[in-house]
């Protein structure tokens, strides 16, 4: 181990040494970890990215820019920012780690999940900033999830981004305008701030482009979790794919085993139309059909309504009956940015009809 790496290791420990070294005590709250923390931890350790923690941190310490290619289900969005904080890259009250998200619902929901995983209260050690809403504390926040547009706005008032020690550009492959402009700004900022680290997280196809853009930055590949997938096609083209998709969801609800449904449509109008049709049909179900609830999800939906997608499915109508089911009707926001527990079926009929 080089002197430089040894020095960085010691500096990383300094941020927590004043709190506690007892593994049963949360270093951020000085309170014992809750049972919920241990329940979540057992699931975290099974994520593919968890096995790469040591290698990730070593690579990030040795390089100013690192590109991470993480497939869907690898856990990169929730785990890698925590790895950085745990390794001492954030100094409470001075600098923090920022993780950008292209969508507001992703920034808020991921922040809430990470706060649970770190066993802290949202808005203190872990926070988020989206348009018109800042849930963070400059004196305590060590990890903040922000939309790429808000970080870009912050860069206008503070071009050196002095508040941050690490910036994680997540979902960089989506190539939003704000993310592309941020990459251009960071390209100029990094030579001026040698202490600033940049982690670019991308899907499989574009990782090489980001490597080239950042002058041959090292690439780390993290595998994802795969699940058995069956693809069914319609026997013939459907005249109205929204009606066909809602009809398919209702058939699944009546005939298939328990498991929530995720229906992808193209925009707000189609989503609200599908929700109304499904609710109308569900209201006519008899007592022998399990309860069904429907939640829409699109970018202009108010945050409080967006969060409803994470509510648990309803229970059985009667004791000993079949459990209920929820259907989430969403744009492609739920395709990469979010992971919703309990999903058993995806319905994407419109893709097959138009060859998207």
List pLDDT tens digits, range 214-238: 999 999 998 876 667 778 888 888 8
Task: Express each pLDDT in 187-203 by its tens digit.
Answer: 999 999 999 999 999 87
Q: What is the pLDDT of residue 83?
A: 95
Residue 50: closest CA among 60, 42, 38: 42
The answer for residues whose C-beta is within 8 angstroms of residue 268's C-beta and 6 or more apart is: 296, 298, 300, 301
pLDDT beneath 70, residues of the chain? 1-22, 204-205, 225-227, 334-356
Q: What is the pLDDT of residue 337?
A: 58
Taking the C-alpha atoms of residue 337 and residue 348, their distance in angstroms, rounded to an integer, is 17
Q: What is the pLDDT of residue 344?
A: 60
Q: What is the pLDDT of residue 230?
A: 79
Q: What is the pLDDT of residue 70?
A: 83
Q: What is the pLDDT of residue 315?
A: 85
Q: What is the pLDDT of residue 11?
A: 36
Taking the C-alpha atoms of residue 199 and residue 251, their distance in angstroms, rounded to an integer, is 44
Backbone phi and psi for residue 249, each to the nearest 5 degrees, phi listed first: -60, -45
The answer to whether the beta carbons of residues 82 and 117 sit under 8 Å apart is yes
CA separation, residue 89 to residues 10, 46, 216 (Å): 11, 24, 23
Q: What is the pLDDT of residue 8?
A: 35
Q: What is the pLDDT of residue 339?
A: 64
Question: Which single residue is written with the structure tokens 């979010």?
Answer: 338
Q: What is the pLDDT of residue 141?
A: 95
């Amino acid at each position: 181990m080089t002197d430089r790496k040894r020095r960085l290791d010691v500096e990383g420990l300094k941020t927590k040494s004043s709190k506690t070294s007892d593994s049963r005590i949360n270093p951020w709250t000085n309170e014992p970890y809750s049972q919920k923390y241990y329940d979540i931890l057992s699931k975290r350790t099974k994520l593919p990215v968890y096995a790469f923690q040591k290698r990730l941190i070593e690579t990030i310490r040795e390089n100013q820019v690192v590109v991470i290619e993480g497939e869907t289900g690898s856990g990169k969005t929730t785990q890698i920012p925590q790895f950085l904080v745990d390794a001492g890259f954030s100094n409470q009250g001075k600098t923090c780690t920022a993780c950008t998200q292209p969508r507001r619902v992703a920034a808020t929901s991921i922040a809430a999940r990470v706060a649970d995983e770190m066993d802290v209260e949202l808005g203190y050690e872990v926070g988020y900033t989206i348009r018109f809403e800042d849930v963070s504390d400059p004196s305590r926040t060590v990890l903040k999830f922000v939309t790429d547009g808000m970080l870009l706005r912050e860069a206008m008032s503070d071009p050196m981004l002095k508040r941050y020690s690490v910036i994680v550009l997540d979902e960089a492959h989506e190539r939003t305008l704000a993310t592309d402009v941020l990459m251009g700004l960071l390209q100029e900022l990094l030579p001026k701030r040698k202490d600033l680290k940049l982690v670019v997280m991308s899907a499989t196809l574009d990782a090489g482009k980001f490597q080239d853009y950042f002058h041959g930055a090292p690439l780390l590949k993290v595998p994802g979790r795969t699940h058995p997938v069956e693809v069914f096609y319609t026997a013939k083209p459907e005249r109205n794919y929204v009606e066909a998709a809602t009809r398919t969801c209702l058939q699944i609800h009546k005939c298939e085993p328990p498991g929530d449904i995720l229906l992808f449509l193209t925009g707000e109008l189609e989503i609200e139309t599908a929700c109304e049709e499904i609710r109308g049909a569900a209201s006519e179900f008899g007592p022998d059909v399990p309860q069904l609830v429907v939640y829409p999800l699109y970018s202009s939906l108010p945050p409080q309504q967006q969060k409803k997608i994470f509510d648990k499915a309803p229970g059985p109508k009667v004791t000993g009956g079949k459990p209920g089911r929820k259907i989430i009707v969403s744009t492609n926001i739920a395709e990469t940015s979010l992971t919703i527990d309990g999903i058993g079926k995806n319905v994407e009929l419109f893709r097959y009809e138009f060859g998207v």
